[in-house]
Amino acid sequence: MPVLAVLLLLALTASVQLHAAAPPASVVAVANRDAEGAIVLDADEAHNFQPSAAACRDSCLNTTGCNVWVWCAAVSGCVPGGSYTRDQRRYQQCWLKYDTPPKQGASTRGKFPRPKNSADTATGWMSGTTAANFTDSAPFPEKGYSCSCVSTYQYGGYNFEGMCAHIQDYGSACIVTTNCRESSYGGMQGCSGTQPCTVLLDTDLNETSIITPGDYNTADSAEDCCYQCASTQGCNLWTWCVDPTGCDGERYRFRQCWLKQADPKNPQPKKGYGGSPGWISGVRLTWMPM
């Protein structure tokens, strides 16, 4: 092949951005969400403990009548129904439930499975669904990490789409206009710290840069790591190791929380979705170059 043709081919290849396929529904769940539903398997009575969220999901898939699973992901334990206190004994509990899915074609984003806890209450639970033709997610924009009166804004040369971010020394906030009734301080709207986050199970996402390495940073739960990302300038992608036996075959990685930056609209899994056992990741539509 002539040299000029080779150079043209290389230039064309370099100009094409690879886009990852959408994650399969089986790896999508929501952190910090207990879920409603009729109990199919009582984790207290059956002493049903599973080593990971993916294992709890698989337990649901293999149990007749189950289409909603709830797993205690927080190392410090989870808040049982009717209580406000975490119970460490519930760590890794796996509850299996059934709930009637919405009719096909209905808007289900953030509505199924039905949340049992309020959005701003930290519970430690993670949940998902195995119902056919449904892809789970937290409400979007994610409540509390979202801006209630603006959909997009710019700050410091970056775009933000409906989500709060760590702005200067103010904390988690949105840049808002003067006609926003909820603007409370200097054109900024503050956001709640604890909220549900959409997560990708057994998935480690590639980064263009590391904001805070997990070698020196840990989190108690997936929502804790998600909150750390929301509270860190430049972070729009995070990855947490949920497996007590370690991730990537290394026990010391348990609870590591990696805060990263990449293109949140085109996340690239390192080993494919579901191909990195023990890792849980999430993205936020923040800190995108203008």
In the chain, what are the domains?
A: 25-129 (3.50.4.10)
Q: Which helix (H) or strand (E) holds 72?
A: strand 68-72
pLDDT value for 213: 97
- DSSP strands (E only) in 130-252: 152-155, 158-161, 165-167, 171-175, 188-190, 197-201, 209-212, 237-241
pLDDT value for 272: 93
Can you tell me whether residue 148 is helix, strand or coil?
Answer: coil
Q: Which helix (H) or strand (E) holds 95?
A: strand 94-98
pLDDT tens series, the chain, 290 aa: 443 333 323 332 233 344 567 888 899 999 999 999 999 999 999 999 999 999 999 999 999 999 999 999 999 999 887 677 889 999 999 999 999 988 765 566 667 899 888 777 788 999 999 998 888 887 654 555 556 666 677 777 888 887 777 776 666 777 766 666 555 556 666 676 677 889 999 999 999 999 999 999 999 999 999 989 888 888 899 999 999 999 998 999 999 999 999 998 899 999 999 999 999 999 988 888 87
pLDDT value for 108: 64
Q: What is the DSSP string of 10-34?
A: HHHHHHSPP-PPPPPGGGEEEES--
What is the pTM for the complete model shown? 0.84
Q: Residues 152, 168: contact at Cβ < 8 Å?
A: no
pLDDT value for 13: 29
Instruction: Please state, in angstroms and as integers, the Cα–Cα distance from residue 190 to each residue in 104, 137, 177, 193, 205, following that order.
Output: 36, 23, 13, 9, 28
pLDDT value for 7: 30
pLDDT value for 109: 65
- DSSP strands (E only) in 132-170: 152-155, 158-161, 165-167
pLDDT value for 106: 55
pLDDT value for 193: 64
pLDDT value for 174: 73
Instruction: Please state, in angstroms and as integers, the Cα–Cα distance from residue 281 to each residue in 163, 177, 205, 240, 272, following that order.
Output: 17, 32, 7, 6, 12
pLDDT value for 19: 58
Q: How many residues does the chain have?
A: 290
φ, ψ dihedrals at 25, nearest 5°? -60, -25
Q: Residues 127, 59: contact at Cβ < 8 Å?
A: no
